[in-house]
Amino acid sequence: MRQPKWWQDAVVYQVYPRSFYDANGDGVGDLRGITEKLDYIASLGVDVVWSCPFFVSPWADGGYDIADYRAVDPAFGTMEDFEALVAGVHARGMKFVMDFVGNHTSDEHPWFQAALADKNSPYHDYYTFRPGKDGREPSNWASIFGGSAWEYVPALDEYYLHLFAKKQPDLNWENPQVVEEVLSILEFWADKGVDGYRLDAINYLYKEPGYPDVEPLPGSPYGFATAHYANKPRVHEHFRTLRSRVMGPRGLSTVAEVAYLDDETARGYADPARGELDMLYLFDVLNVDQQGFDKFSPLPLDLPRFKQALAHWQQVLHGHGWLALFLGNHDQPRAVSRFGDEGRYRARSAKMLANAMYFLQGTPYLYQGEELGMTNPHYTSLSQFKDVEALDALRAGLARGESEQHWLELLNARSRDCGRAPFSWNDGPAAGFTAGTPWMDPCADAAQINAAAEENDPDSVLNFYRTLIRVRKGRPSVLWGRTDFLVPEDPDLFVYTRTAEEEALLSVNNFSGEERHFPLPQGFAGGELLLSNCGAPQLDEEGVLTLRPWEGFVLLRKQQP
């Protein structure tokens, strides 16, 4: 069999440090907290720990607004704590990956402060400042978080560009000095033992000069200008520089958060022969239950569309790149609340989701708490929400005259805070997350759904994940098999085969609370049951399966020699 790279046969566990575990009782998760829970993480059988940002930050965007790239924020601990964490990860045979936020800094970063203080400072050109046009912004580009992407600085009589929050000015990668700074930051952490990087919003590095006006969004003077800043050809050059100067020589892996991709660009980024990126974390695959770009205009899950999006990327990247597989992250609601049944069939549907997603081709990225089937937090007051995106959307919604009750429901279903509520460790105060007052309230159901309870239940979601991670490891069909979706138009069934030379597997999943019938595909009768959330599949003499609500299983068949 072909030998995989270490990250191809890996499962990654993503930690959002502020919400994982608080070791010092100040209410905020910290690096020592992660270190204290490494045995738990390792017990899942995962190979890699990815931590979201823990650098000095005013926390305007959950730590993705960095004011010092080389220092641990005191809220998270010290550099010694970081070194102990990496040593602890390595001692357990795992790798450590961290975020690199290169598209923007915090407005409190000394570079930006210097840029504001003096137009002639070399740091002014680290960012994008432009004069206004006809007394307005240089263009009508919208910020991803709402409003204009330009902010006026009266003292300079100029605007600066921020694709995200106004406290996140975009770096100017056309300035070679900026690229050198970035390379040296990447080397700094590599010297400290980091094994790879998750590259944040990294396909936005190049903005078309001229910043042409775009079609405004309904009811707004601003419009999404992704055509002018996402995946521009110059980005490939930047990726090759990162690879040739740092990632390649140091043997670091890269996973890149990328959106709005076409097939050719995706292969261009990820084809190993081109030396750019290792894995693509395709942001828009999970946008299948919303209207356009607006996550606060939810739609019911369109399963055929979801399957089609996954099938598409499986096919485009098969032999031409490698995908990150995920059901959630710190920007998404909880998968079981969103795609499963968080009520009667919570555990079963959480297991089915994992069964459906993680036998596709790619590297699974489990987000903390997903392995417990944690649900959205079900807050009862708008004051419990913290995230900039949620608060901006709420403000705009209320200004349009929409009701608070409507927004409470929306934020409980769709906001990024859904995934950022503290990890539920046990049924104690603050869900065992902290001995102090938690910075965010725990989930309403933490007393029932928590790691301690699941540890003791052989049938728990947690133990299902452990089995899943064990059985997928090293399997030729999982690693290299071709993916074929069956019944792509079926609104409830999510069925695919993965066919390799040595073996083939079949993953069958019922995304509904109803019984469904499905003929067992040829060749899988008598196949080995690798994994199931309901025990042995129900198969009649005619070879027809009766699938129970939210049932999911995987069968393995040895190929004929």
Judged by CB under 6 A, the chain residues 315 through 344 that form the site for ligand NOJ are 330-331
User: Residue 86: which H helix or E strand, with range?
Assistant: helix 79-91
Nearer Cβ to ligand NOJ (283/518): 283
State how far the Cα of 486 lies from the Cα of 545, in Å rounded to an integer.
15
* List 62, 102, 481, 537, residue binding ligand NOJ (CB under 6 A): 62
180 counts as catalytic: no
The beta-carbon contacts of 454-459 under 8 Å, at least 24 apart in sequence, are 454/372, 459/347
State how far the Cα of 539 lies from the Cα of 553, in Å rounded to an integer.
13
Q: How many angstroms from the chain centroid is the CA of residue 69?
A: 21
Q: Which of 65, 200, 417, 490 is catalytic?
A: 200
The interface region with ligand NOJ, picked from 57-65, 265-273, 365-373, 451-459 by CB under 6 A, is 57-65
101 binds ligand NOJ (CB under 6 A): yes
* List 126, 164, 269, 494, residue binding ligand NOJ (CB under 6 A): 164
- Give the other-Cβ count within 10 Å of 513's Cβ: 16
Q: List, in sequence order, every residue forming a beta bridge with 136; answer none if it has no partner.
A: 133
61 binds ligand NOJ (CB under 6 A): yes
371 binds ligand NOJ (CB under 6 A): no
State how far the Cα of 10 lies from the Cα of 553, in Å rounded to an integer.
21
Q: How many angstroms from the chain centroid is the CA of residue 403?
A: 30
175: helix, strand or coil:
coil
- Give the other-Cβ count within 10 Å of 367's Cβ: 24
Give per-residue burial for 335-345: e unless 16+ CB within 10 Å, then b. Answer: bbbbbbbbeeb
Task: Look up tokens 């602890």; give the residue.
Answer: 88
15: helix, strand or coil:
strand
Tokens coding 172: 């100017």
The interface region with ligand NOJ, picked from 59-67, 292-300, 309-317, 484-492 by CB under 6 A, is 59-67
Instruction: Work out how close the CB of 393 gets to ligand NOJ at its nearest, in angstroms, rounded to a whole number.
Output: 13
- Count of residues in contact with ligand NOJ, rule CB under 6 A: 10
Instruction: Report DSSP letters for 89-103, one per residue.
Output: HHHTT-EEEEEEE-S
Instruction: Work out how close the CB of 331 gets to ligand NOJ at its nearest, in angstroms, rounded to a whole number.
Output: 5
Nearer Cβ to ligand NOJ (204/425): 204
224 binds ligand NOJ (CB under 6 A): no
* List 81, 137, 200, 276, residue binding ligand NOJ (CB under 6 A): 200
Nearer Cβ to ligand NOJ (166/307): 166
257 counts as catalytic: yes
Nearer Cβ to ligand NOJ (201/530): 201
Nearer Cβ to ligand NOJ (52/495): 52
Nearer Cβ to ligand NOJ (167/548): 167
CA atoms within a 13 Å half-sphere pointing along the CA-CB vector of 519: 5
Instruction: Work out how close the CB of 257 gets to ligand NOJ at its nearest, in angstroms, rounded to a whole number.
Output: 6
Instruction: Work out how close the CB of 83 gets to ligand NOJ at its nearest, in angstroms, rounded to a whole number.
Output: 25
Q: In this structure, what are the phi and psi dihedrals at residue 21, rounded to the nearest 5 degrees?
A: -155, 135
Instruction: Work out how close the CB of 552 gets to ligand NOJ at its nearest, in angstroms, rounded to a whole number.
Output: 28
476 binds ligand NOJ (CB under 6 A): no
Judged by CB under 6 A, the chain residues 239 through 258 that form the site for ligand NOJ are 257
Nearer Cβ to ligand NOJ (323/430): 323
Name the region of 435 (left: φ>0; alpha: ψ -120 to 50; beta: rest). alpha
Nearer Cβ to ligand NOJ (258/479): 258
Q: Which of 22, 151, 170, 257 is catalytic?
A: 257
- Give the other-Cβ count within 10 Å of 380's Cβ: 11
Q: Which residue type occupies 5?
A: K
Nearest Cα neighbor of 427 from 455, 465, 461 is 455
The interface region with ligand NOJ, picked from 58-66, 179-187, 273-281, 467-475 by CB under 6 A, is 58-66
Residues near ligand NOJ (CB under 6 A): 61-62, 64, 101, 164, 200-201, 257, 330-331
Q: What residues act catalytically?
A: 200, 257
